[in-house]
Amino acid sequence: MSEFQPKIVTFLCNWCSYGAADLAGVSRFQYPPNMRIIRIPCSGRVSAKMILHAIRSGADGVWISGCHPGDCHYIEGNYYARRKFYLLRELLAHTGLEPDRLQFSWISSAEGVKFAQVAQEVIQTITALGPAQRLIKQMPDAVAEVA
């Protein structure tokens, strides 16, 4: 298990958390390289289909990070996102997915340290869960047996 390196798809909002990731990099704060970062205009832009698509394609976890409440570039996008992610996380947990595979955070563009820290935590949490088992697409490689 100690060798398991999770793949984490990370959606960062353009205005805050992406800036934080940038700042963490410029400031040379270390965090493990398990993430594939996708820049998005706002955390409110992320839909359920994107999260599930990441998992079905082999991500062990998905991390979404946006601006702090009140700081959204679009005034209130992250408030809507908060409701949406609450319901989605609950629904996925209800149907058997480990809820911690989905990670959320608010990180402003000034919080390079927090970014590196949260990244560490996210990776630790998902590493502890082990490889994802659920909602992963398996290739149909055998002919459906009829005879």
Our finding on whether 39 is near another protein (CB under 8 A) is no
Q: Are 19 and 67 in contact (CB under 8 A)?
A: no
Q: What is the SS3 assignment for 85?
A: helix
Our finding on whether 82 is near another protein (CB under 8 A) is yes
Q: What is the SS3 assignment for 38?
A: strand
Binding range to another protein, per CB under 8 A, among 3-11, 13-21, 31-39, 43-51:
43-51
Please compute, for residue 117, the number of CA atoms within 13 A of its CA located in the half-sphere on the CB side.
7
Our finding on whether 85 is near another protein (CB under 8 A) is yes
Among 1, 28, 30, 49, binds another protein (CB under 8 A): 49
Q: Are 117 and 27 in contact (CB under 8 A)?
A: no
Q: In this complex, which beta carbon is closest to another protein, that of residue 22 or of residue 56?
A: 56
Cβ neighbour number for residue 19 with a 10 Å cutoff: 20
The DSSP letter of residue 12 is E
* Chain Cα centroid distance, residue 71: 20
Cβ neighbour number for residue 120 with a 10 Å cutoff: 14
Our finding on whether 57 is near another protein (CB under 8 A) is yes
Our finding on whether 75 is near another protein (CB under 8 A) is no
Among 12, 97, 123, 132, binds another protein (CB under 8 A): 97
Our finding on whether 7 is near another protein (CB under 8 A) is no
Backbone angles phi, psi at 59, to 5 degrees: -75, 140
In the complex, minimum distance from the CB of residue 134 to another protein, in angstroms, rounded to a whole number: 6
Our finding on whether 15 is near another protein (CB under 8 A) is no
In the complex, minimum distance from the CB of residue 45 to another protein, in angstroms, rounded to a whole number: 14
Binding range to another protein, per CB under 8 A, among 4-12, 16-24, 25-33, 94-102:
94-102
